[in-house]
Amino acid sequence: MRITQARQWLRSARRIAVLTGAGISAESGIPTFRGPGGLWRSFRPEDLATPEAFASDPVLVWEWYDWRRGLIAKAEPNAGHLALVELEERAPAFDLITQNVDGLHRRAGSKNVICLHGDIWTLRCTVCSRARESFQVPLDPRPPRCTCGGLERPGVVWFGESLPSAAWLAAEEAARNCDSFLVVGTSAVVMPAGGLARIAKQAGAKVIEVNAGETQLSPMADAALRGPAGTILPELLALP
Ligand code: OAD
């Protein structure tokens, strides 16, 4: 019943916005952050995902991101990523906002992807901010120097840093102006991304949550669909 209703909301929406988190890539073999087996269960974010951590031990941080790049390089997009490609093709207007840095949405074929937390396949200079793509796996053992002499760092957003402003503005605009807001595989505890569903709801959108478990968004969702994204999203789109 709830899935039928949610399917109907997506079918009739003039504009759809989607927010994804680590849960959509879990079935591709990429660990989430907070659930069982989540990265923040075994590692401390303050040692690995802050500008201070990089300043005090750049090689440790570099190696951790290199390890994650290795995991992601072996992963393939799953049925959940592919369902969102299909949804983009069907929708009159569509924005895919992701907190993920793994690049799997683009690899699956999604076109309009807003990366709120950066991209693990980008390196950025700590001094001049020049960014470049790098798919090298494994990376050199130490962070390289930019042509300006500054150390390069992973092109992701760390705790305590602001989101890229163009990405955030685009995400907020999409949330405010969509008819259906689909939230997939995120605990929604990291702000400001975690607040987008409320922005959408306050602006009148139907909020549909797809998650393996209950989250703090579940009570406000118009439909909370429980289960793995790789199963629920194809069902939601009535894919064969
Ligand atoms: P979390 O690890 O906090 O949450 C993952 C969510 O995915 C949980 O709610 C799980 O229940 C759900 N989940 C797990 N497997 C799933 C599956 N197969 N199908 C559907 N749902 C599933 O990850 P995020 O919410 O993405 O930030 O975390 C947000 C941010 O915190 C990340 O972007 C990262 C992290 O610190 C930065 O790196 C800046």
Q: Which two tokens stand for residue 202?
A: 């306050």
Q: What is the pLDDT of residue 1?
A: 60
User: Options 3.10.150.10, 3.40.50.1220, 1.10.10.10, 3.40.50.300; which CATH number does 1-30+77-117+163-240 get?
Assistant: 3.40.50.1220
The active-site residue, picked from 69, 81, 105, 117, is 117
240 C-alpha to ligand 1 centroid (Å): 27
Q: pTM of the prediction? A: 0.97
Ligand 1 atom closest to Cα of residue 157: 39
Residue ranges of the chain whose pLDDT lies below 70: 1, 240
Q: Is 180 exposed, middle or buried (0-12, 13-18, 19+ CB in 10 A)?
A: buried
pLDDT digits (tens, 9 = 90+) for 28-41: 999 999 988 999 99
For the chain, percent of residues with pLDDT exceeding 90: 97
Q: What is the pLDDT of residue 2?
A: 87
Identify the residues whose C-beta falls under 6 Å from ligand 1. 21-23, 26-27, 32-35, 38, 49, 99, 117, 156-157, 185-187, 190, 211-213, 215, 228-229
34 C-alpha to ligand 1 centroid (Å): 7
- Give residue limits of the domains in the chain: 1-30+77-117+163-240, 31-74+120-156
Q: Does domain 31-74+120-156 have CATH number 3.30.1600.10?
A: yes
192 C-alpha to ligand 1 centroid (Å): 14
pLDDT digits (tens, 9 = 90+) for 42-61: 999 999 999 999 999 999 99
Buried b (16+ CB within 10 A) or exposed e, 115-124: bbbbbbbbbb
Contacts of 55 (CB under 8 A, 6+ apart): none
